Chains A and B, each alone.
Chain A
Amino acid sequence: MNAYRKFFLKKSLWYLVTLLVAVALNFLLPRLIDGNPVSVIASQMTQGMTDSDSIKKVYDTFAEEFGIDKPLWQQFFIYLGNLMKGDLGTSFGLYPTPVTSILASAVPWTLALQLPAILVGWIIGNALGAIAAYKKGVFDKVLFPTFLFINSIPFFILAIIMLYIFGLTLNWFPTSGGYNYQMTPNLSFEFIGSVISHHFLPFISIVLVTIGGQAIGMREMSIYELNTDYVLYSKLLGIKDSTIAKYVFKNAMLPQITGLALSIGTMIGGSLITEIVFSYPGIGTWLFTAIRQLDYPLISGATLLIAISVLLANFTIEIIYGLVDPRIKATQMEEE
């Protein structure tokens, strides 16, 4: 266990550094905009306002929020300090709502959509990939190009096609929003039913694309494992096929866990755009609105939140991976 603790500490330190870089990028990149961002923003905000007092008030709010009169490194510490307090600034688009409360209302929707969809897609994809590699023949010949084709379709394109076919042409599912907005959220069956039927199409489109990518990876890993010496040796020893399949599956599965960790960023990015297609009330749709309104605090709040969630997901997977993969423990032991 001592070896594992060392692994854990090392990983934690790494992710802390990565987090710092992510926060710094999030701080620095939007501030590279030419000119004084606050006056640009304030002039956009105050278009149509005639009352000079309220114009000044808007300007002062943002000047203080950005701390533009101070040098950049001080601004960074102000930014970090605000971040610690959970303060991400004030939205321009929905002035004066704080960014944090907008994001807080969106997070449950995004989580409830993406977490199950990515997990289900990952599990089904891996199972199908392993079967395709094992059965070979016609099964593989049909499935592999299908996976490859689904994988070449960006998330949102599948989403738009599903929206058009099942939502608009067949009218099976509602096409936008998280629930029927004529209802007030409550715990009745009717309301829950409405949430589920709105959830279905975006959920299925994320699952399908995830299956495609994962199945390709798993198929490749399984074929590689099936050609290794230990499989041949086990066959010669007369070990049952089902037992060998179990060995192969375990070995092919490990890289797929790392694969999940590494592709989770792309997946979340793609799923966010799926939300936009269905006007699902999650982070992705807010990001889209924010970009259209040039609502910089909301944009940077959303990107920061997404970056942190991706890092967190990665960290969790790597920590679990350390427990599952005996080789990691072994290398830690050797170092001792």
Chain B
Amino acid sequence: MNSSVQILIRSPKFLIGAITFLLMLAFVTIYPLINTNDPTEMVALAFQPPSAELLLGSDNFGRDLFLELVYGIKTSIFVGLVAGLSATIIGLIIGLSAGYIGGIVDDFLTAVTNIFIVIPSFIVLILISVSIDSRSTLITAIVIGITSWPWTARAVRAQTSSLRNRDHVNIAKISGHSTPRIILFEILPYIMSYVVMAFVLQTASGILSEASISMLGLGPYNTISLGIIMNWALIFEAPVSGAWWAFIPAAVAIAIITFSLYLMNTGMDEIFNPKIRS
């Protein structure tokens, strides 16, 4: 594990991505401790352009957009991480059981996975979000996770079923090790690099899903996320008012976060799959 971290640090793509992401995360965690104002407080007239006092101007309600952006990034990253984590956990459980148990269980789980790969997750996400009355940030994040596990499950299954009959797994079986122990010590370490990569990708797509669903007006309640800032900008016609500061910074923030995550993923991919190194 230590040596793979050392290799990772030498990949410029991974390093740039990770540093950007961590710096952003650190900033949005620390800034609210310094500037303790409430982001929902109205401090100016509507759509005031950026100035020395309001770094990114004000929105349609006259709120400080810079402060909103900081809170928005925080919420979006949280949603992304929770969504990524739940998608990875569900995908791992389904993929490992299908791949390791095999037989009918495998056939059934593979069929379910294939069905949910084809049915657009975006649609399931809309249907679930419409049906839930009180959407907290956490619930939104988990719902996004529930709709995006099939890719992880498919890949984990493929790798597990090829690992299942390797010698070291057979030896562990003959030695009488329990199934959870075999999965934990003989199979998981071999697919760990893939799982971490999948988690990073799922986090990025979780942030994008949150933005899309909030854009539709189905985002979490009582909070500020990047998608919700975009939704407000659109509903209150910020583009028509020429208030670029109401949506361009949020848009760029989403792009930078996902870009840094994609960059981390590409960096890891090049290290763990040496074949695609150009």
Q: Which residues of A come within 8 Å of B, CB atoms?
A: 14-15, 17-18, 21-22, 25-26, 29-34, 133, 136, 140, 148-149, 151-154, 156-157, 160-161, 163-164, 167-169, 175, 220, 223-224, 227, 262, 265-266, 268-270, 273, 276-277, 287-288, 291-292, 296, 299-300, 303, 306-307, 310-311, 314
Task: Report A149 CB to chain B, min CB distance, Å.
Answer: 5
State A148–B262 Cα separation when bound (angstroms): 7
Residue of B nearest to A220 (CB): B276
Task: Report B208 CB to chain A, min CB distance, Å.
Answer: 5
B266 near A18 with CB under 8 A, answer no
A223 near B278 with CB under 8 A, answer yes
Q: When A and B form their complex, which 5 residue pairs have the shortest distance between CB atoms, in order from nearest?
A: A265-B120, A269-B122, A152-B258, A152-B259, A29-B127
A311 near B118 with CB under 8 A, answer yes
Task: Indicate if B196 sits at the interface (CB-CB under 8 A).
Answer: no
Beyond the given A220-B276, A306-B123, please list 17 additional residue pairs across the A-B interface where CB-CB is below 8 A: A22-B119, A26-B127, A30-B130, A148-B262, A152-B255, A152-B261, A153-B255, A157-B211, A161-B251, A163-B239, A167-B239, A224-B275, A265-B119, A265-B121, A265-B122, A268-B120, A276-B216
A156 near B126 with CB under 8 A, answer no
- Please count how many residues in chain B sit with their CB below 8 Å of the partner chain's CB atoms: 47
Interface residues of B in 172-219 (CB under 8 A from A): 204, 208, 211-212, 215-218
Q: Which of B24-32, B77-85, B158-166, B242-250 contacts A (4 or more CB under 8 A)?
A: B242-250
State A276–B181 Cα separation when bound (angstroms): 51
Residue of A nearest to B259 (CB): A152
A161 near B123 with CB under 8 A, answer no
A29 near B259 with CB under 8 A, answer no
Interface residues of B in 12-66 (CB under 8 A from A): none
For A296, list chain B residues within 8 Å (CB).
130
A269 near B123 with CB under 8 A, answer yes
State A22–B259 Cα separation when bound (angstroms): 32
B230 near A160 with CB under 8 A, answer yes
Task: Report A66 CB to chain B, min CB distance, Å.
Answer: 14
State A177–B278 Cα separation when bound (angstroms): 45
Between B123, B204, B258, the greatest number of chain A beta carbons within 10 A of the residue's beta carbon is seen for B123
Between B120, B128, B242, the greatest number of chain A beta carbons within 10 A of the residue's beta carbon is seen for B120
Residue of A nearest to B204 (CB): A152
Q: A33-B133, A270-B212, A291-B130 are in contact. Are A303 and B123 (CB under 8 A)?
A: yes
For B130, list chain A residues within 8 Å (CB).
29-30, 291, 296, 299
B120 near A306 with CB under 8 A, answer yes
B127, B218, B247: the one within 8 Å of A25 (CB): B127
A154 near B254 with CB under 8 A, answer yes
For A269, list chain B residues within 8 Å (CB).
120, 122-123, 212
Q: A33-B133, A276-B215 are in contact. Are A153 and B123 (CB under 8 A)?
A: no
A291 near B119 with CB under 8 A, answer no
Q: A156-B212, A262-B117, A265-B122 are in contact. Are A168 and B131 (CB under 8 A)?
A: no
Q: A152-B255, A157-B230 are in contact. Are A307 and B123 (CB under 8 A)?
A: yes
State A275–B154 Cα separation when bound (angstroms): 32
A136, A153, A303: the one within 8 Å of B127 (CB): A303
Residue of B nearest to A155 (CB): B212
16 sampled A-B residue pairs with Cβ under 8 A: A25-B127, A30-B131, A153-B255, A154-B211, A154-B212, A157-B251, A160-B247, A163-B239, A164-B244, A223-B276, A227-B276, A270-B212, A273-B215, A291-B218, A307-B119, A307-B123
Task: Report A252 CB to chain B, min CB distance, Å.
Answer: 12
Task: Indicate if B234 sits at the interface (CB-CB under 8 A).
Answer: yes
A224 near B131 with CB under 8 A, answer no
Task: Indicate if B124 sits at the interface (CB-CB under 8 A).
Answer: yes
For A169, list chain B residues within 8 Å (CB).
242
A161 near B248 with CB under 8 A, answer yes
A34, A270, A307: the one within 8 Å of B133 (CB): A34
Q: A34-B133, A291-B130, A303-B127 are in contact. Are A168 and B239 (CB under 8 A)?
A: yes
For B217, list chain A residues within 8 Å (CB).
288, 291-292
Task: Report A10 CB to chain B, min CB distance, Å.
Answer: 12
State A21–B248 Cα separation when bound (angstroms): 40
Task: Indicate if B263 sits at the interface (CB-CB under 8 A).
Answer: yes
State A154–B215 Cα separation when bound (angstroms): 11
Task: Report B47 CB to chain A, min CB distance, Å.
Answer: 14
State A30–B10 Cα separation when bound (angstroms): 50
For B244, list chain A residues within 8 Å (CB).
164
Task: Indicate if B1 sits at the interface (CB-CB under 8 A).
Answer: no
State A136–B278 Cα separation when bound (angstroms): 8
Q: A18-B118, A300-B127 are in contact. Are A288 and B216 (CB under 8 A)?
A: yes
Between A140, A149, A169, the greatest number of chain B beta carbons within 10 A of the residue's beta carbon is seen for A149
Residue of B nearest to A156 (CB): B215
Task: Indicate if B115 sits at the interface (CB-CB under 8 A).
Answer: yes
For A32, list chain B residues within 8 Å (CB).
131
Task: Report A295 CB to chain B, min CB distance, Å.
Answer: 10
B115, B239, B258, B262: the one within 8 Å of A18 (CB): B115
State A126–B128 Cα separation when bound (angstroms): 35
State A209–B259 Cα separation when bound (angstroms): 13
For B121, list chain A residues within 8 Å (CB).
265-266
State A276–B258 Cα separation when bound (angstroms): 22
Residue of B nearest to A265 (CB): B120
